[in-house]
Amino acid sequence: MTDVAVVGSINHDLTIMTERHPLPGETVLGLEHFSGGGGKGANQAVAAARLGGSVSMVGRVGDDDHGASLRSSLTREGIDTSHVVVDPVSPTGLALITVDSAAENTIVVSPGANSRVDVAQIETSRHLLASARVVLCQLEIPIEAVAAAAGLADGIFCLNPAPGRELPQELLDRVDVLIPNLTELARITGLAVSDARSALSSARQIEGPGAVVVTLGSEGALVVDGDRGYHIAAPQISAVDTTGAGDAFCGALAVALAGGQPLIEAVQWAMVAGALATTSIGAQTSMPTTEQVEVFITTNGLPALT
């Protein structure tokens, strides 16, 4: 049985390290560069697979070298790619990423084939989506496809609403666990969010999802579950590149929920995965394994409820 079906984007990432980000119109000489698999969907699928989940990916790549190599690298991670369609028209999605010396990133994505994941494709994965313990989506594919996946999911439906945008109420009503970061929370609610306190009051105003989990980077995470709200402190770690932290968190949370862990424990475990993903460069390459997460928890304990 599939633990986690990830419905989302598959991109080729080009990452350049730089002292600082260029201003508009400016060119800066960067440092080293890397290229490899990315896309929030594929990143979260890789995170879930490394953390022991049986994972299927639903998505779309172009009929090109990037698409072929991304499919085979997902397969090498143990992910079922039989629901990844090869699009005859559009190229594989491409992301241009810069990471500065403070480990902050900027990203521009050209979605390519990802923008052609449609309702018809989602319906061909009907059986998978109905039988998966957790269906996990993001917003790098058309929202109609996300809504169709939500409608077909019989297990727990998790939505990482990234990149941030307003969400239709019918979609919010189908979400079991909504996982925004601060920016995405502000986009969903239309409210200014600057810190944990304002995030908590904003998250409480979202109607529909069973629970809202807000990730706060080095400030940890918030959980709003019915009337209850919790803040959990981030694991102490020295971050090198924050690309992929949120994806590691979402993939890990999906695996933990698929394994039947209660929400708070699942979030604490996922926070360790998110933190470990910041300790090396890249997105998929930096996704931690179950063993790394367990070693960290044995040494440092679970992140604390504050």
- Active-site residues, by number, are 247
Location of structure tokens 């409820």: 305
Minimal distance in Å, beta carbon 302 to ligand ADP? 11
**Which candidate, 89, 64, 50, places its Cα nearest to that of 12?**
64
Enumerate residues 6+ apart whose C-beta is below 8 A from 241: 99, 103, 105, 278, 280, 281, 282, 286
Which residue, 11 or 54, has its beta carbon nearer to ligand ADP? 11
**Is residue 246 near ligand ADP by the rule CB under 6 A?**
yes
x/- mask, ligand ADP, residues 196-225, rule CB under 6 A, reads -------------------xxxx-xx----
Stretch that binds ligand ADP, among 107-115, 125-133, 195-203, 232-240 (CB under 6 A): 232-240
Tell me the CB-side half-sphere exposure of residue 156, using CA atoms within 13 A.
22
**Is residue 274 near ligand ADP by the rule CB under 6 A?**
yes
Which residue, 111 or 288, has its beta carbon nearer to ligand ADP? 288
Which residue, 129 or 267, has its beta carbon nearer to ligand ADP? 267
Minimal distance in Å, beta carbon 171 to ligand ADP? 19
**Is residue 121 near ligand ADP by the rule CB under 6 A?**
no
Strand segments, DSSP code E, in 119-201 are 134-137, 156-159, 177-178
Among 43, 181, 189, 268, binds ligand ADP (CB under 6 A): 181
Alpha helices in 205-289, H assignment, sequence order: 245-258, 263-277
- Residue 214: count other Cβ atoms within 10 Å of its Cβ: 26
Q: Are 112 and 93 in contact (CB under 8 A)?
A: yes
Q: What is the binding site for ligand ADP (CB under 6 A)?
A: 181, 215-218, 220-221, 234-235, 237, 239, 242, 245-246, 249, 271, 274-275, 278
